[in-house]
Amino acid sequence: MSSSALDNEPQQTTPPPNHPAPGLSKMGLAAWIALLVLLGAELMDMIDQSVVLTALPAIQESTGAGPAAVQWLTTGYSLPIAVGLITGGRLGDLYGRRKILLIGTVVFTTASLLCGLAAGPGVLIGARGLQGVGVAIMIPQILATLHVTFKGQHRSKVFGLYGAVMSLANVLGPVMGGLLTEADLFGQSWRPIFLVNVPVGLAVLLLGRRFIPESTVQKADRPDLTGMLLSALAIVLIVFPLTEGHLHHWPLWCFAVLAAGLLALGVFLCHQQRKQGNAPLVTLSLFRSRQFSGGMAAQLMHGLLCGLFFMTWTLYLQRGLGMSPFHAALAFVLLSLGELAGATIVAKSGGRFARRLPQAGALIAAASMAAYGLQAAEGQADLTLPAMTAPVVLIGFGLGMVGGPLADLSLARVPHENAGAASGLFNTAIHLGIALGTALTALVFFATTGGSLGAGLHRGAFITVLWWVGGLLVLMWALMFCLPKHTDDPAD
């Protein structure tokens, strides 16, 4: 990827004297340590989105959590993330991205300790919500710091590694959750899935304070508190009914709350339009760039297909094919290996292929989804883990080629002073997509199974899901035409 657009910009960040300036020209030891700390924090954040899934039965048994409480163990984590990402990005711009990252790490690590010590479902749900708050503070600082610290081919390679970490986390979470719960370390059952975050969080704090360069926006204005409240209200009102609707068979109040959320979103956009030029929460001028707006839409589709695919795939493997949790975890490992291979190719490309690489990945994943659907329809109960290896690995390979380049190309020409806000928006897109994918799961998958444990019903419903996911991948491929075809394309 060409770095000329960024290299010629006036420097918009203010590094402290004891740290290297953003835009490191060489990947020295300090830069590598900073990169590892940032990617380690990202991995920790992403794993905890899914680590709880395979441990839910053990949690329910030991805490006495009912069905609604089990639902909120996942919803209570994702909702604060969707609500707080935009605000978290802006706080990093205003007060220093390293400082806000470390504050978020303290919140997340403390919450993880509370999760591991929780005796009842109420405390556990509250601690999961606090974890989500910590993630909402941390994640935007990671992307923004990568964006302003590394340049040229180094930055393209760094974003390739970022994509690899995202791909690894997507599948490592369920695998870790199952293995740690089954291992029953020190007789603690599911608790180590949260307690393992404590030493990792402490390492991020100690090393991050020493090696991550600080960056802030010069002459930053006070945060837009009204915008923060309106954006939080809009996202809560939109995400809540999408999360709860299928549990209550989509009553009228769900649609009323959703409509209120859309109205709040409209009020928020009007408020932001009036605030342009006066420290708005969202810089609407970012969306004038086809590169950024198209990348945001593609990221939304990415989250939607992930929310739809991974939950239904887990149910298909265990209920449709009768696999044990261990064998289902092996299927996730196969997909993870494919994702790592795809992300490795992206990292080695150095950004030379621009949008063509993630577009190729989307098409590979779509074709593999179709092949997997045909195989499931024909093989039925005879479909074994070795038999599905090829399509599963190729699905992962295609997805692994998308994440890093999509983030890199979407944010490449965002001004440094808006890097945190743009990163918050970009991450909000995937979390809102996951919420929408969860709602779509109720319509596409559970509406067919009707809550039945029948293997045939789950196979048929999952095949339908695969066609939906394949269609979303094709749509994402089309949206990526908004990204530059060549690394030296001029900005829009």
- Exposed, middle or buried by CB within 10 Å (0-12, 13-18, 19+), for 18? exposed
Alpha carbon distance 141, 404 (integer Å): 16
Q: Which pLDDT score, from 0 to 100, does residue 455 have?
A: 58
Length of the chain: 492
Three-class secondary structure of residue 3 per DSSP:
coil
Calpha distance 100→430 (Å, rounded):
22
Give Cβ neighbours of residue 145 (< 8 Å, ≥ 6 apart): 38, 97, 98, 101, 212, 213, 215
What pLDDT shows up at residue 18?
40
* Angstrom distance (rounded) from CA 266 to CA 287: 16
What's the rounded Cα separation, in Å, for the pair 385 and 467? 21
Dihedrals phi, psi of 24, to nearest 5 degrees: -60, 125
Tell me the three-class secondary structure of 149-194, residue by residue: HECHHHHHHHHHHHHHHHHHHHHHHHHHHHHHHHHCHHHCCCCHHH
Q: Would you say 290 and 492 are in contact if contact means Cβ atoms under 8 Å apart? A: yes
What would the pLDDT profile of 205-260 be if each residue is shown by its tens digit? Answer: 999 898 888 877 666 566 778 888 898 888 888 877 876 777 777 899 999 999 99
Query: For position 191, what pLDDT does the model report?
Result: 92
C-alpha 318/C-alpha 365 separation (Å) is: 22
Q: Please, are residues 411 and 147 in contact by the beta-carbon 8 Å criterion? A: yes
Region of 22 please: left (phi>0), alpha (psi -120 to 50) or beta.
beta
pLDDT for position 13: 46
Specify the amino acid at residue 85. L
Least Cα distance to 348 among 490, 205, 215, 158 occurs for: 158
Q: Which two tokens stand for residue 453?
A: 């444990």
The DSSP symbol for 221 reads P
Closest alpha carbon to 23 in 12, 38, 36, 33: 12
Structure tokens at 37: 């700390």
Read off the amino acid at residue 340.
L
Long-range contacts made by residues 21-28, C-beta under 8 angstroms, separation at least 24? 21/213, 22/148, 22/149, 22/213, 22/215, 22/416, 23/148, 23/149, 23/150, 23/151, 24/149, 24/150, 24/151, 24/154, 25/151, 27/154
Which residues in the chain come in under a pLDDT of 50? Answer: 1-25, 453, 490-492
List the one residue out of 310, 290, 314 whose CA is nearest residue 399: 310
pLDDT tens readout for residues 268-280: 999 988 887 676 7
Question: At what angle are helices 67-95 and 56-63 packed, to 10 degrees?
Answer: 110
Alpha-carbon distance of 255 to 267, in angstroms, equals 18
